Amino acid sequence: MKRSDIAMNARSRLIRLPCFRLLFATLAIGLLTKVFADNLFPTPEHRFPTEEKRDNRPVVGWGGQKDDERIRDIPHVSDDGCHVILARKKSQANSYEKRLTRWETATGQECTPAHWNNPEWDALMSSMYEGRRLGLEELLSTETGRKFVHDEKAWRLLHGRLADARDQSMLWTKPMSEPPEWRAKFDVYPREMHFAPNGRSIAYVSRDDRAIFPHEKWKEADGMAIEEIDSGRKVAFLAGVRNRFQISPAGDLAIQNIYNRDGGRDEQPALALWDITHLRRVDVSSCQTRRRNRCFRKTGGSCLPLLGQTTGKFVGPHWSGGGIHPMADSSAKQEFGTIGTCCTMIDNW
């Protein structure tokens, strides 16, 4: 081989090899970047630790429920991303206690309003007896509801008014025995009390325009009173309604579970839809849903009794703004009921 050829080969090797390596390295970087970008988690704006570790013990116990199970949930994050509300639920055999905490995302500091630490406030979130579901969590789903939840003054006003009413009712019907100490914080609230999600009114059972409290007999109630939170003014009274009902976010409709309708033990439970504005019952429908498996659309008045996870059946009517659309049984809905383990309601597709 000539000396000039050897020199040329060496030169071409010198040029080609780095070029090839550079090209290979660039391609590898590009490919790896794509792979990482597709699989790595995005970088969060804020990140902070809390003491709310999840209980990962295996599910044991009656009904698959763990004793002392601790569940965390985030019910709300503010529109500016600055605050997060965290719910901590401590379950026991047949009751639970729930506590809300508020966190500042930029600093990671807890900024829970002072009144959220009151035992009476805790009672609102708990189900120590009678399986109370007072609807406080639903307050977080609306703007006005959140305003009430954060307003300590409004809360104190409502609590004071209810405590006065309870004291007055004690004069009428003195309890046979002193309630246990642990129950004292629950006794402030009238029976079957429920907050409207808009935070403007509460509903409770009453008799002769007087709230029925836990030391009184539930059967003495003759109807459901709806009271404005701010003023304490009674805005509606639905005669004959004694089961707690769930008020729609708009505050104009309510859905009520009726058990053992007309006193018949073998009868199917039913759902009744009430028009609060016009004080009339819009419809009653037999259904197999449990109390929890129903929901109102957040932005409107539509109500859909959802399918039960246990039965897997999609049952009940779909109510929309007073109009009723009975759900005819179909193979499609059966499929939905069988496959779906969770579902939600959306406004538009």
Partner 1 sequence: MFAFWDVASGQKIGEWDIGDRASDLFKVSRIVWSQNRRYFLAEFEKDRTGASTQTIKYLDDAEDWMSRMVISRIDTRLPARLVVLDMLTRRESGHVPGYTGAISDNGEWLATIDEEGTIRVWRMPLAKPWTRSFGYALAIVLGACSMFRFIRWLRTRGALRA
Please name the helix (run of DSSP H) or strand (run of DSSP E) that holds residue 23, with its range, or none: helix 3-39
Token look-up 């709300």 returns 76
**Which of 77, 163, 282, 295 is close enough to bind partner 1 by CB under 8 A?**
77
Nearest-approach distance from CB 299 to partner 1, in angstroms:
8
Identify which of 265, 135, 120, 253 has the alpha carbon closest to the alpha carbon of residue 193. 135
**Which of 8, 17, 23, 32 is close enough to bind partner 1 by CB under 8 A?**
32
In this structure, are residues 282 and 273 in contact, taking their beta carbons and an 8 Å threshold? Answer: yes
Number of residues that bind partner 1 (CB under 8 A): 69
Nearest-approach distance from CB 195 to partner 1, in angstroms:
19
Residue 191 backbone class (left: φ over 0; alpha: ψ -120 to 50; beta: rest): beta
**Which of 56, 171, 176, 181 is close enough to bind partner 1 by CB under 8 A?**
56
Closer Cβ to partner 1, 65 or 243, answer by number: 65
Token look-up 């391609």 returns 27
Does residue 177 touch partner 1 according to CB under 8 A? no
Pairing, β 270-275 against β 109-110: unpaired
**Which of 23, 28, 60, 184 is close enough to bind partner 1 by CB under 8 A?**
28
Residue 315 and residue 337: Cα distance in Å, rounded? 9
Nearest-approach distance from CB 99 to partner 1, in angstroms:
14
Closer Cβ to partner 1, 72 or 280, answer by number: 72
**Which of 40, 114, 171, 176 is close enough to bind partner 1 by CB under 8 A?**
40
Pair of tokens at residue 125: 């979130």
Does residue 343 touch partner 1 according to CB under 8 A? yes
Residue 27 and residue 290: Cα distance in Å, rounded? 58
Residue 287 and residue 307: Cα distance in Å, rounded? 10
Q: Which whole-number Å values give the CA distances from 263 to 183, 218, 283, in the listed order?
A: 30, 15, 19
Residues 310-329 that bind partner 1 (CB under 8 A): 318, 320, 325, 327-328
Identify which of 94, 100, 52 has the alpha carbon closest to the alpha carbon of residue 75. 100
Does residue 63 touch partner 1 according to CB under 8 A? no
Q: Which whole-number Å values give the CA distances from 212 to 18, 86, 140, 185, 237, in the listed order?
A: 87, 32, 27, 16, 14
Does residue 304 touch partner 1 according to CB under 8 A? yes
Closer Cβ to partner 1, 51 or 181, answer by number: 51
**Which of 2, 47, 153, 174 is close enough to bind partner 1 by CB under 8 A?**
47
Does residue 78 touch partner 1 according to CB under 8 A? yes
Closer Cβ to partner 1, 225 or 271, answer by number: 271
In this structure, are residues 196 and 247 in contact, taking their beta carbons and an 8 Å threshold? Answer: yes
The residues that touch partner 1, with contacts defined as CB under 8 A, are: 25, 28-38, 40-54, 56, 58-59, 72-81, 84, 86, 103, 105, 108, 143, 298-299, 304, 318, 320, 325, 327-328, 330, 332-333, 336, 339-349
